[in-house]
């Protein structure tokens, strides 16, 4: 008798749960407009309308108020943390290598520059990979009509522009070091005809002047491009 009585109770519980499931699902949908508005307001006030790209930490209350859109913010925060972790320290070390007082100091750092040029290229690829990963994740996110332009603007400011500027800066570092190394190789090849003396090169064979001038001009050009790339990256971070 007891075995027969269990089934109706189980069936009743299942039917009761089935009745309530639509109501539970409906709660989430009913809250979506409010969650979306909260997220739009947050993005506007804390990212698109503010100077700089540093993202604020969100509280649990804020995260809860965003609902499913908390994941949208997590993507922005994750990219920024990954970019800083993967490139921050090394970027500073690379840029420090560009601060030479004279050609003699440059010539003594030849091996370091070769390593740095490879490192700069590696960092460029890391940045591009991080952006590609973020772009792929963003493509999966639902972006309703009123949220799309606001989130896209925030994403452009926090992800797209910093990634492009950082990759360009690392590319410029590599090219600047490559130009310097090319000059050093030329000087080493013709060491009997020229000698580095502080900021100057003592040229003994005037026949090499045009080629030497061209290589030094290339170094100056790449140094200017690096300066512009660095300035653009800083503008992007501070906008």
CA dist list (Å): 210 to 8, 206, 215, 216, 224: 99, 8, 9, 10, 21
Q: Could you identify the residue written with the tokens 């026949």?
A: 207
Mean pLDDT score, 95-104? 70
- Do residues 95 and 175 lie in contact, with contact meaning Cβ atoms separated by under 8 Å? no
Confidence of residue 102 (pLDDT cuts 50, 70, 90): low
Contacts of 128 (CB under 8 A, 6+ apart): 163, 167
What's the rounded Cα separation, in Å, for the pair 23 and 128?
A: 45
Cα gap 94→174, rounded to integer Å: 10
pLDDT greater than 80 at residue 96: no
Residue-level pLDDT at 136: 98
Predicted pLDDT at 99: 67
In the chain, domain spans = 76-238
Question: What's the predicted TM-score (pTM) here?
Answer: 0.80
Identify the CA nearest to 104 among candidates 184, 176, 219.
184
Measured in degrees and rounded to the nearest 5, phi and psi for residue 35 equal: -65, -40
How many CB atoms neighbour CB 83 within 10 A?
A: 21
**Residue 88 pLDDT greater than 90, yes or no:** no
How many other CB atoms sit within 10 Å of the CB of residue 235? Answer: 11
Q: What is the mean pLDDT of residues 2-16?
A: 41
Q: What is the pLDDT of residues 162-212, one digit of tens each?
A: 999 999 999 999 999 999 999 989 988 998 998 887 778 888 899 999 999
CB 159 within 8 A of CB 167: no
* Poorest-pLDDT segment among 1-10, 118-127, 179-188: 1-10
Q: Quick one: average pLDDT of 129-144?
A: 97
Look at 27-31, 42-46, 124-128, 200-204 and tell me which has the smallest mean pLDDT.
27-31
Whether 95 shows a pLDDT value over 90: the answer reads no
User: Which one, of 163, 155, 159, 164, lies nearest residue 48 by Cα?
Assistant: 155
- Mean pLDDT is lowest, of 8-17, 42-51, 97-106, 194-203, for 8-17
Percent of the chain beyond pLDDT 90? Answer: 55
């Amino acid at each position: 008798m007891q075995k027969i009585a269990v089934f109706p109770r189980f069936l009743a519980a299942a039917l009761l749960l089935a009745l309530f499931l639509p109501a539970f699902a409906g709660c989430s949908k009913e809250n979506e407009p409010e969650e979306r508005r909260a997220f739009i307001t947050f993005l506007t006030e804390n990212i698109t309308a503010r100077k700089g790209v540093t993202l604020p930490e969100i509280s649990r209350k804020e995260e809860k108020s965003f609902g499913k859109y908390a994941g949208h913010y997590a993507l922005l925060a994750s990219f920024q943390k990954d970019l800083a972790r993967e490139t921050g320290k090394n970027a500073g070390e690379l840029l420090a290598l560009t601060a030479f007082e004279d050609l003699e100091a440059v010539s003594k750092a030849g091996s370091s520059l070769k390593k740095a040029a490879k490192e700069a290229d590696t960092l460029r690829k890391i940045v591009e990979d991080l952006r590609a990963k973020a772009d792929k994740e963003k493509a999966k996110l639902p972006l309703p009509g009123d949220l799309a332009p606001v989130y896209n603007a925030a994403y452009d400011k926090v992800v797209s522009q910093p990634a492009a500027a950082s990759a360009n800066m690392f590319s410029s570092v590599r090219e600047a070091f490559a130009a310097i190394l090319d000059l050093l190789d030329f000087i080493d090849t013709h060491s009997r005809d020229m000698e580095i003396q502080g900021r100057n090169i003592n040229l003994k064979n005037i026949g090499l002047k045009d080629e030497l001038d061209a290589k030094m001009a290339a170094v100056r050009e790449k140094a200017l491009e690096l300066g512009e790339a660095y300035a653009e990256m800083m503008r992007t971070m501070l906008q």
